Amino acid sequence: MRRVVVTGLGALTPIGNNVREYWDGLEKGVSGSGMITRFNAEKFKTRFACELKGYNSADYFERKESNKLDLYAQYALIAADEAVKDSGLDLEKSNRDRIGVIWASGIGGIETFYRSIRDHVLGDGTPRFSPFFIPKMIADIAAGTISIKYGFKGPNFATVSACASSTNALIDAINYIRLDKADIFVSGGSEASINEPGIGGFNALQAISTNNDEYKTASRPFDHTRDGFVLGEGAGALIVEEYNHAKARGAKIYAELTGTGMTADAYHITAPHPEGIGAISVMKLALKDAGIKPEDVDYINVHGTATPLGDISEAKAIVNVFGEHAFKLNISSTKSMTGHLLGAAGAIEAIAAIMSLTKDIIPPTINFKVPDPQIDPNLNLTANTAQERKVRIAISNTFGFGGHNASVVLKKADS
């Protein structure tokens, strides 16, 4: 099969509004959590989240354009633009029939949906919907809008698998290139769910932290005192390209995408299997696809949401798959800094793994203080401080509500 590499990156995150700022925040262990400013959260159980900092749509879009775009689609366009520019693609010389877009969102335009329904219900009952209500809301519109902007006419669609969505988008891009259906994809995900239904819904599920007194350190994966994830927002974009195509145009190559895995727990709509059977099988499939042994892996960017059940399940799965080598590799959850970006999580975490390959630095799991007795104490969680390490192969894990599991194996460029 054709080899697949990453030649461009773009990020819009709670700890940095581009890839350089994002990586700097990860390396320094910066928390993106703060009290919610997007709406009045006083009556909610959770009053904090990982919002974007200093985001103003007017900095990126004309007012007429931004009015047609839900926040999640705005975030998608911004991250994709950074990635396209970073890739060095000459759009005038590129065969845009062979460039596609596979973009993910776990929820899509929930902000648009909520505001539109609220305004209708609170009125006199007369239907008053914007003509942009449907196109702003649907989860595939980001992929369509990116393709329209650049004239990319290759395969174009959205993937939705909850928190695994953008890893599934990345896997689809890899496989379409392997099968010679395209040469390049813009792949990634975006999410904008810090609003009343987002916070209220996850509160009702008891999935997010309610530690308002310690909001800055509330995202604490693997810590015994964790009480749920912290909701985040933003986007991550990757330019995924066939290896020889990238070499022929002299592109810089960040990393090679060598293995993928996709499984389902078939267990529960929100809880992971307690023994991590889906996580075990998905990592084994990714390793097999990459043609490598467990001991070849240096770093795992884990799903690590800081939920009581999820972290234990994933830790058990890692020990099962990697055996004694589990205690020699580095593990970290960058959600401790960014919060959980839901459908965009896989994209920004794949970028974190790629940067660890290029920089030979493992970003930390911050806010870790009290070990959980149900998690093996010999695992190197890269607690609180980044660690230098030669990183040749990394794995990025994402798991979603519904039992969706997705993993990708990334290899240092030309190693």
Would residue 255 count as lying in a domain?
no
Does the active-site annotation cover 50? no
What is the edge-to-edge ordering of all strands in the sheet holding 330-332? 156-159, 99-104, 184-191, 234-242, 4-12, 255-264, 404-412, 393-400, 299-301, 330-332
Residue tagged active-site, from 50, 163, 245, 273: 163
Please check whether residues 243 and 114 belong to one and the same domain.
yes
Does the active-site annotation cover 303? yes
Distance CA 22, CA 33 (A): 14
Identify the CATH number of the domain in which residue 365 sits.
Answer: 3.40.47.10
pTM for the full predicted model: 0.97
Distance CA 76, CA 86 (A): 15
Please check whether residues 190 and 292 belong to one and the same domain.
no
Please check whether residues 111 and 187 belong to one and the same domain.
yes
Distance CA 34, CA 19 (A): 21
Please, are residues 22 and 11 in contact by the beta-carbon 8 Å criterion? yes
Residues 107, 255, 295, 367: what is their CA dihedral angle, to the nearest 10 degrees? -50
Residues 6+ apart with CB under 8 A from 377: 371
Q: How many domains does the chain have?
A: 2
Please check whether residues 134 and 275 belong to one and the same domain.
no
Q: Which domain holds residue 64?
A: 4-248
Is pLDDT at 374 greater than 90 in this prediction? Answer: yes
Does the active-site annotation cover 340? yes
Residues 241, 243, 248, 254: what is their CA dihedral angle, to the nearest 10 degrees? 70
Please check whether residues 166 and 244 belong to one and the same domain.
yes
**What is the maximum alpha-carbon separation in the chain?**
66
Domain boundary among 248, 283, 302: 248
Residue tagged active-site, from 245, 273, 303, 404: 303
DSSP β-bridge partners for residue 34:
49
Please check whether residues 266 and 240 belong to one and the same domain.
no
Least confident of 14-18, 115-119, 304-308, 320-324: 115-119
Please check whether residues 266 and 211 belong to one and the same domain.
no
Q: Say what the pLDDT of residue 47 is.
A: 98
pLDDT mean over 263-283:
97
**Following DSSP, what letter does each residue of 256-285 receive, concatenated?**
EEEEEEEEE--S-SSSPPTT-HHHHHHHHH
pLDDT mean over 87-100:
97
Q: Say what the pLDDT of residue 415 is.
A: 52
Please check whether residues 105 and 244 belong to one and the same domain.
yes
Please check whether residues 207 and 312 belong to one and the same domain.
no
Residue tagged active-site, from 245, 273, 340, 404: 340
Distance CA 190, CA 276 (A): 27
